[in-house]
Structure 1
Amino acid sequence: MDTNTSLPTTTTRIVLPGLVEPDGLVVDLAAPVGTPAAGELLVAVEATGISYAEQAMRRGRYFAQPPFPFTPGYDLVGTVLAAGTGADGGLVGRRVATLTKTGAWTGHAIVAARDSVVVPDGLAADLAEAVTVNGVTAWQMLHRAARVEAGDTILVFGANGGVGGLLIQMAQHSGVHVIAAASPRHHESLRARGVVPVDYADPDLASTVRRSAPAGGLAAVFDNVGGETARTSWSLLGRGGTLVSYAIIAAVSGTGSLWPPFLRHLGRILTWNALPNGKRATFYDLWAGHGTRGKSYRRRLDEDLTHVLELVRDGVLTANVAARFPLTDISKALELAESRTLDGKVVLVP
């Protein structure tokens, strides 16, 4: 292991102790800092953030979340301080962006080197953070799952969110026309970006979308709601179109076990894919292949996230940071993120 005698021994860490409101999160100011094992890196965190995943975890409604208590945080950006055996020692002193799923809400983190990508020089940590998990998710859904082409028209739900906002930018960069489903309070800003806004709660949403869609239907729909919204999304596709489902907020926001609605959703996707209409549906999972096809997963992550970060550095994509908070103000930050009033991502700075 590459070592440094000045490595920290304690750090600040946020702990989610159980099913609590945002003000029930615990700020541990003297959490121990571990030593990176084989294939791991010790990172001084410069920016992390709040995504929908952590909001669901707070309510105990995220698939495969660890048992309480634990430290949330789906991704981070920071400087490598030390590398464990087998990890690239050349990363020490470099800034990396890392997918963590949990554990990023801290001042120093032990992360997997295989889930870390070097951040291009000239890109600020908070901007890199705003496009790490959100950016690679949007890019892979658009270009690997849906495989959109210039001239296509797509529908994006959650258009004002961290993933949706980046997906819109990426689609426009590729010459794709966008219809954006969001709350009416976001419509003015969406129009200013050159997209057609629609109200996601419109009871006649399908007819509203069809008025702006090609006669043959949409090339792709990106749905994070599930339930009836997924059925509407499927009906709006044209021949050869793709429904990319990447969350089931309708179920996560409810009560009871998540498994029945999730299995019903997957069953519906399988049923749709068996129909001879030229359309297809898929459930996008950022972690698919992480444990079973490690080399190909790592290759895609490096290629896709590096490209997204370079697009932000070069000014092609805008990293939309809705607000910045010190890590120790996590309760206020989470309350704001959960208010659903923001356009972009809340970034935490240790």
Structure 2
Amino acid sequence: MKSVLCREFGPPSSLVVSEVDEPVPGAGEVLVHVEACGVNFPDTLMIQGKYQQKPAMPFAPGGEVCGTVAALGEGVPGPAIGTRVAALIPYGGFAEAVAVEAGRLVPVPEGVAPDAAAAVCAAYGTVLHALEDRGSLKPGETLLVLGAAGGVGMAAIQIGKLLGARVIAAASSAEKLEACRAAGADGLVDYTRDGWRDQLRELTGARGPDVVFDPVGGPYAEPALRSIGWRGRYLVVGFAAGEIPRIALNLALLKNCAIIGVFYGEFVRREPENNRAMLARLFQWVAEGRLVPALSHRFPLERAGEALELLINRRAVGKLLLVTHAGDGPPR
């Protein structure tokens, strides 16, 4: 089978596509023939040795997959061979097959395409956990999304609207902001321009947002926190800007606000049943047509490096996928 391998830490161009033996599922594992795999920012960090998890070499990146059950390991009663499933895994998804712990699998209902299922797990799972479980976002509240044109940001716009919030999208170009508008954002700010806080103040009637969703960090975090409303909740999701901000805690005191960490990967590990229920809910929204994942483009395995470069250079608008079925083009 084909697998995209990281043989040494380095840029996406150092990845190689190799023919390797198909894995044999061990006790408690299921072999999944991968149809689609999400491409995420942690993948870019893992291949450079900058992520907290450093797998033994060589390894395939890729942490969210959708595919069909091909074989069951010892002690695994199901799902039945041929069942379509999705899963969040530590790594290994950039391949035609992967062995997955049975407890990580979530059945994919009829009406949900492999591309959509693969796109939902990490980004939309992170967002729903952040906004509902950690941020207690309520209908009628205002949500500010930083990095709103990326895969996680687009998901935050969509989930925020589904939860009944008014959503303000912050991104770095007119093209990206227009994509955010198309995804459902009610207000737009270019946070690379001077005076963006004044624009945010105007959009919120001087109240400030109730919840800030921040997967970016860097120089945008402090201005966003200074702009938050009374009793606001600031969700620390990630640091795509590359810099972990150092926040003066008096800002939290002055706004009587909460700074809340969102570590979705650890939530998945510690609360697997809650996560599976949450993913099943997301899949149901997709099946019902209430949620259409913001998919940007799909690439064959051979172009994994190109997909990761798009993320690193911040040229992706929406979610990127690797697929094992033929062709490259718009998502299905």
Q: Is the structural similarity TM-score above 0.5?
A: yes
Task: Please give the alpha-carbon distance, in whole angstroms, between the structure 2 residues aligned to 1:272 and 1:139.
Answer: 29
Q: Between 110-119 and 208-217, report the one with greater CA deviation.
A: 208-217
1:342, CA displacement in angstroms? 2.6
Q: Which residue of 2 aligns with 1:20?
A: 10
Q: Is 1:244 paired with 2:222?
A: no
Q: Which residue of 2 aligns with 1:188?
A: 178
2:304 maps to 330
**What CA distance in whole angstroms lies between the structure 2 residues aligned with 1:187 and 1:122?**
30
**Residues 272 and 281, structure 1, Cα contact 8 Å, conserved in 2:** no
- Whole-angstrom distance in 2 between the partners of 1:114 and 1:318: 26
Which structure 2 residues correspond to residues 142-221 of structure 1 after superposition, within 5 A? 142-184=131-173, 185-192=175-182, 193-221=184-212
Task: Please state how far the C-alpha of 1:68 moved relative to its aligned partner.
Answer: 4.1
Structure 2: state its 5+ residue gaps.
325-332
Q: Using the alignment, how far apart are the partners of 1:133 and 1:207 within structure 2? A: 33
Q: Name the SS for the 1:250 alignment partner.
A: coil
Q: Secondary structure at the match of 2:152?
A: helix
Deviation for aligned residue 1:199: 1.0
Alpha-carbon deviation of 1:127? 1.3
| Gaps in structure 1 of 5+ consecutive residues | 1-10, 253-260
1:76 matched residue in structure 2 = 65
Structure 1 equivalent of residue 330 of structure 2? none
Structure 1 segment 14-163 matched on structure 2, within 5 A: 14-29=4-19, 31-163=20-152
> For residue 179 of structure 2, what is the amino acid of its counterpart?
S
Residue identity in the other structure for 1:305:
L
Given the alignment of the two structures, is residue 229 of structure 1 paired with residue 220 of structure 2, yes or no?
yes
- The Cα shift of 1:274 comes to 7.6
SS at match of 1:299: helix
Deviation at 1:165, TM superposition (A): 0.6
* Partner SS for 1:122: coil
User: Could you say what secondary structure the match of 2:231 adopts?
Assistant: strand
Alignment: residue pair count? 322
Deviation at 1:273, TM superposition (A): 9.6
Matched, 1:314 2:288: yes
Instruction: Give, in angstroms, the shift of residue 70 of structure 1.
Output: 1.7
The C-alpha deviation readout for 1:301-329, integer Å capped at 9, x for no partner, is 11111111111121111112211111122
**Relative to structure 1, is the Cα distance of residues 340 and 13 closer, same or farther in structure 2, using a 3 angstrom cutoff?**
same
Structure 1 CA distance for aligned equivalents of residues 179 and 32 of structure 2: 36
Q: Distance in 1 between matches of 2:251 and 2:89?
A: 32
Identity among equivalent positions (%) equals 33
Instruction: Assess if the C-alpha contact under 8 Å between 1:153 and 1:214 holds in 2.
Output: no
TM-score (norm 1): 0.85
- Deviation of 1:336 after TM superposition, in Å, equals 3.5
Deviations 1:124-171 (A, max 9, x none): 101111111111111111111111111100110111111111111111
Cα deviation for residue 95 of structure 1 reads 0.9
Deviation at 1:215, TM superposition (A): 3.2
2-structure distance, mates of 1:116, 1:128:
12
Tell me which amino acid in the other structure corresponds to 1:87. Answer: V
